[in-house]
Amino acid sequence: MRKLILTLLLTLSIFAEDSVSYFNKAEKNVLLCHVGQHSFKKITHKNAKLEHINGHYYFKLLDENLYFLSNACQPLSKKEGIIF
């Protein structure tokens, strides 16, 4: 049971850092961040920057005092459709 939990935690930590590396690859990359229960916000290099606070990565909006934890955001490619 312990080995299963450790394997799942390792897998989760790998996927949690995926949005940070995707954001840093190119300026045209877009992230979709979860704001509320049914609300999302698009994050780009033009409206947000990446900050490292207490060992965690956050996306800070430039025009607002709003921070998103890196695991609350996921990469959004042009080929994917958004269905609500």
- Could you read off the pLDDT of 6-25 as tens digits, one per residue? 887 777 666 655 788 888 88
11 within a domain of the structure (yes/no): yes
CA gap 71, 34 in Å, rounded: 9
43 within a domain of the structure (yes/no): yes
**pLDDT over 70 at 28, yes or no:** yes
CA gap 51, 58 in Å, rounded: 5
* pTM of the full structure: 0.68
Q: What does the pLDDT look like over 45-76, one tens digit per residue?
A: 999 998 999 988 899 999 888 898 888 888 87
18 within a domain of the structure (yes/no): yes
Number of domains into which the chain is organized: 1
Residue 60: predicted pLDDT = 92
Backbone angles phi, psi at 9, to 5 degrees: -65, -40
57 within a domain of the structure (yes/no): yes
Domain holding 54, by residue range, is 2-76
- Strands 30-34 and 73-76, by their bridges, are antiparallel
Residue 29: predicted pLDDT = 87
Q: Which residue is listed with tokens 């958004």? A: 82
84 within a domain of the structure (yes/no): no
82 within a domain of the structure (yes/no): no
